[in-house]
Amino acid sequence: MKISLKGKKALVGGSSRGIGRAVAEQLAESGAGVTLMASSEDTLKKVVANLPTNQGQEHSYLVVDFTDFNAYSERISNFFEKNSVDILVNNTQGPASGGALEKTVEDYQQAFDLLFKSVVFTTQLAIKGMQQNNWGRIINVASVSVKEPLNYLALSNSIRAAVVTWAKSLAFDIGKNGITINNVLTGYFDTDRIAQLNAKKAEKMGIDTAAVRAAMEEQVPMKRIGDPKEYGYLAAFLASENAGYITGTNIPLDGGLLKSL
């Protein structure tokens, strides 16, 4: 099966590194013109310069701060005044780790703005062009914690659960326009985010970070942490014509980590 995204335009959040970057690279490899979004312009420039252009496509970037919703909403609104996209990958950095009793109402509000409001706002803007074209793909980077909450990620557990149920609701409204929306339930991947969480956990437990990673790998049936490239492969498939009958789903990408059905 050959995946071709030639002629398609994609907007990928959090794409200067980690999962977002791997997704952007695979979409570009499949022929899409990609607009990257992240906060570091220097890094974005470097990533754009190295994206594949093997099918004559052009790439660009948008400097945004997902932690400042007002500034973000203005920036992304300006973008969609002049542009439309066929593929939207909703991905931001995760909120701070910590248990439910450690977090304040303000913490939850900030996480809501970061993980939910930005996703809904961006999607609503993107859908307008997709409806005109009767074609679109929306992919939400979510987490396995929406099905099996991780006690040290109370903010992420709560708000990402809202995202996946919202996406299920939206799927009913946009399916008739040839637009799909799916959530990828992310397991353990070899990213800076995992390294940061492991470092914090190691400090709290008084053990070495290597021991934390080894314990994490042991939880996964495949006994390893995922390669972000593997995430890109799934995203490219979901963005393609081949996935036109898949919508409103939660797809675990976790090496078998989830124990529930």
Which DSSP category does 93 fall into? Answer: P
Q: 184 with 235: CB under 8 angstroms?
A: yes
Residue that has been written with the tokens 């996964």 in this structure? 220
Structural tokens at position 58: 């052009």
d(CA 208, CA 60): 40
CB-CB neighbours of 13 under 10 Å: 25
What letter represents residue 251's amino acid?
Answer: I
What residue ranges define each of the domains in the chain, with the CATH number in brackets?
9-189+227-253 (3.40.50.720), 191-225 (no CATH)
Spatial neighbors of 144 by CB under 8 A, at least 6 apart, are: 185, 186, 187, 252, 254, 257, 258
CB within 8 A of 151, min separation 6: which ones? Answer: 99, 100
Nearest to 182 by CA among 121, 232, 141: 141
pTM metric for this prediction: 0.95
Q: What is the pLDDT of residue 80?
A: 98
Q: For 55-106, how does the pLDDT look when each residue is reduced to its tens digit (9 = 90+)?
A: 999 999 999 999 999 999 999 999 999 999 999 999 998 898 899 999 999 9
Residues of the chain by 3-state class (helix, strand, coil), percent to 5: 50, 15, 35
The DSSP element (H or E) to which 213 belongs, if any, is: helix 209-219
Residues with catalytic function: 152
CA distance 37 to 44: 8
State the Cα–Cα distance between residues 2 and 24, nearest whole angstrom. 18
Q: How many CB atoms lie within 10 A of CB 56?
A: 9
The secondary element (H helix, E strand) that includes residue 36 is: strand 33-38
Residue that has been written with the tokens 């906060």 in this structure? 39
Q: What is the mean pLDDT of each run of 10 residues along the chain (261 residues)?
A: 95 97 98 98 98 96 97 98 98 92 96 97 98 98 95 94 98 98 97 84 87 92 97 98 98 97 85
Distance from the first to the final alpha carbon of the chain: 28
Residue 236 is predicted with a pLDDT of 98
| pLDDT at residue number 198 | 83
Sequence-distant (≥ 6) Cβ neighbours of residue 92 within 8 angstroms = 13, 14, 66, 114, 115, 118, 119
**Count of other CB atoms within 10 angstroms of residue 87:** 27
Give me 205's structure tokens.
Answer: 């437990």
